[in-house]
Chains A and B, each alone.
Chain A
Amino acid sequence: MTRRPDPSTPEGAAEALEAMWTIRTFELALEELYQRGMLHGTMHLSIGQEATATGVTGALEDGDMITSTHRGHGHCLGHGADPTAMMAELLARDTGYCRGRGGSMHIADVANGNLGANGIVAGSMTIAAGAALAQQQAGGDRVVACFFGDGAANEGAFHEALNLAAIWDLPVVYVCENNQYGMSMASSLAAAGDDIAGRAGAYGIPGHRVDGNDPVAVHEVVLEATARARAGDGPTLVEAETYRYRGHSKSDRNLYRTREEINTWRDERDPIDTFRTRALEAGWLDEEAADAAEQRARDTVRDAVQEASAAPPARVEDLDGAAYAPVPARDGVEDAA
Chain B
Amino acid sequence: MSNPTSTEHDTLDEQAADAAAVVDEAVEDAGTTGAGTSTTGTTSGGTTTTTYAKALAAAFRTAMRQDERVFLAGEDIGVYGGAFGVTDGLLEEFGEQRVRDTPISEEAIVGMAVGAAMTGRRPVVEMQFSDFVVNAMDPLVNQAAKLHFMYGGNVTVPLVVRGPGGGGTGAAAQHSQSLEAWFAHVPGLKVVTPATAQDVHDLFLASLLDPNPVVFLEHKLLYKVEAEVELRERIEDTPARLGEALVLRDGRDCTLVAYSIMVPRALEAAEQLAADGIEVEVVDLRTLRPLDVDTVRASVRRTGRLVTAQEAPVPVGIGAEVAAAVVESDAVDHLLAPVVRVGGRDVPMPYGKDLEAATIPQVDDLVAACRRVLED
Decide: B113 and A130 in contact? CB cutoff 8 A: yes
* Pick from B97, B123, B147: contact of A130, CB under 8 Å: B123
A131/B119 in contact, CB under 8 A = yes
Q: Which A residues are CB-close (under 8 A) to B243? A: 336-337
Inter-chain contacts of B156 with A (CB < 8 A): 325
Of the listed stretches B136-144, B225-233, B332-340, B361-369, chain A binds B136-144
Cβ of B102 < 8 Å from any Cβ of A?
yes
Among B116, B142, B244, the residue within 8 A (CB) of A336 is B244
State which of B33-41, B206-214, B247-255 sits at the interface with chain A: B206-214
**Assembly CA distance A335 to B211 (angstroms):** 12
Chain B residues, CB < 8 A from A13: none
Q: Is there contact, CB below 8 Å, between A337 and B242? A: yes
With A101-B150, A163-B108 as known contacts, state yes or no: A325 contacts B211, CB within 8 Å.
Answer: yes
- Whether B241 lies near A97 (C-beta < 8 A) is no
Q: Give the CA-CA distance A335 to B150 in the complex, in Å.
A: 23
Q: What CA separation (Å) do A164 and B112 show in the bound complex?
A: 9
- Taking A127-B111, A336-B244 as contacts, is the C-beta distance between A322 and B153 under 8 angstroms? yes
Asked if A135 CB lies within 8 Å of chain B CBs, one says yes
State A100–B114 Cα separation when bound (angstroms).
23
* Distance in angstroms between the alpha carbons of A328 and B115 in the assembled complex: 22
The smallest beta-carbon distance between A140 and chain B, in angstroms, is 9
Q: Is A334 an interface residue (CB 8 A)?
A: yes
Interface membership of chain A positions 90-133, coded 1 if the CB is closer than 8 angstroms to chain B and 0 otherwise: 00000011111110001011110001101110010111111111
Give complex CA distance A164, B106 in Å.
11
Q: Mark A288-322, 1 if CB is under 8 A from B, else 0.
A: 00000000000000000000000000000000001
In the complex, are the beta carbons of A102 and B107 less than 8 A apart?
no
State whether the Cβ of A333 lies closer than 8 Å to any Cβ in chain B. yes
Q: Known contacts A327-B209, A327-B210: does B147 contact A101 (CB below 8 Å)? A: no
Whether A115 contacts B118 in the complex (CB less than 8 A), given A106-B150, A126-B139, A129-B108, comes out as: yes
Closest to B136 in A: A126
**Cβ of A108: which chain B residues have Cβ within 8 Å of it?**
147, 150-152, 154-155
A19 at the interface (CB under 8 A from B): no
Contact present for B151 and A98 (CB under 8 Å): yes
Task: Kindly report which residue of chain B lies nearest to residue A130, judged by CB atoms.
Answer: B115
The answer to whether A126 touches B115 (Cβ under 8 A) is: yes
The reply to whether the CB of B292 lies closer than 8 angstroms to some CB of chain A is yes
Interface residues of B in 147-199 (CB under 8 A from A): 147-156, 187-188, 190
On chain B, the residues within 8 Å of A14 by CB distance are none
Docked pose: A324 CA to B148 CA in angstroms: 7
Q: List A contacts of B105 (CB < 8 A).
A: 160, 163-164
Please, which residue of chain B has its CB at the minimum distance from the CB of A105?
B150
Instruction: Give A133 to B121 CA distance when docked, in angstroms.
Output: 9
A129 and B112 within 8 A (CB): yes
B315: interface (CB < 8 Å): no
Contacts of B261 in A (CB 8 A): none
* Least distance between B240 CB and chain A CB atoms (Å): 9
Q: Which residues of A contact B147 (CB under 8 A)?
A: 108, 116
Given contacts A131-B115, A164-B103, contact A126 B108 (CB under 8 A): yes
* Chain B residues closer than 8 Å to A116, beta-carbon distance: 147, 150-151, 155
Q: Is the CB of B209 within 8 A of A161?
A: no
Complex CA–CA separation, A130 to B148 (angstroms): 17
What residue in chain B is nearest A67 (Cβ atoms)? B115
B117 in the interface (beta carbon within 8 A): yes
**Chain A residues near B (Cβ < 8 Å):** 65, 67, 89, 96-102, 106, 108-111, 115-116, 118-120, 123, 125-135, 137-138, 144, 156-157, 160-161, 163-164, 167, 322-328, 330, 333-337
| 14 A/B residue pairs, CB under 8 Å, sorted by A | A97-B154, A99-B153, A101-B151, A101-B152, A102-B150, A108-B154, A129-B108, A134-B121, A157-B138, A323-B149, A330-B236, A330-B241, A334-B241, A336-B244
Apart from A65-B119, A164-B103, A323-B187: 17 A-B pairs, beta carbons within 8 A: A101-B151, A101-B152, A102-B150, A110-B151, A126-B108, A127-B115, A127-B143, A130-B114, A133-B112, A134-B116, A134-B121, A160-B105, A163-B103, A324-B148, A325-B148, A325-B211, A325-B212
Interface residues of B (CB under 8 A from A): 71, 97, 102-103, 105, 107-108, 110-121, 123, 138-139, 142-143, 145, 147-156, 187-188, 190, 209-212, 236, 239, 241-244, 290, 292
Give me the 6 closest cross-chain CB pairs, A-B, nearest first.
A126-B111, A130-B115, A336-B243, A98-B152, A160-B108, A130-B112
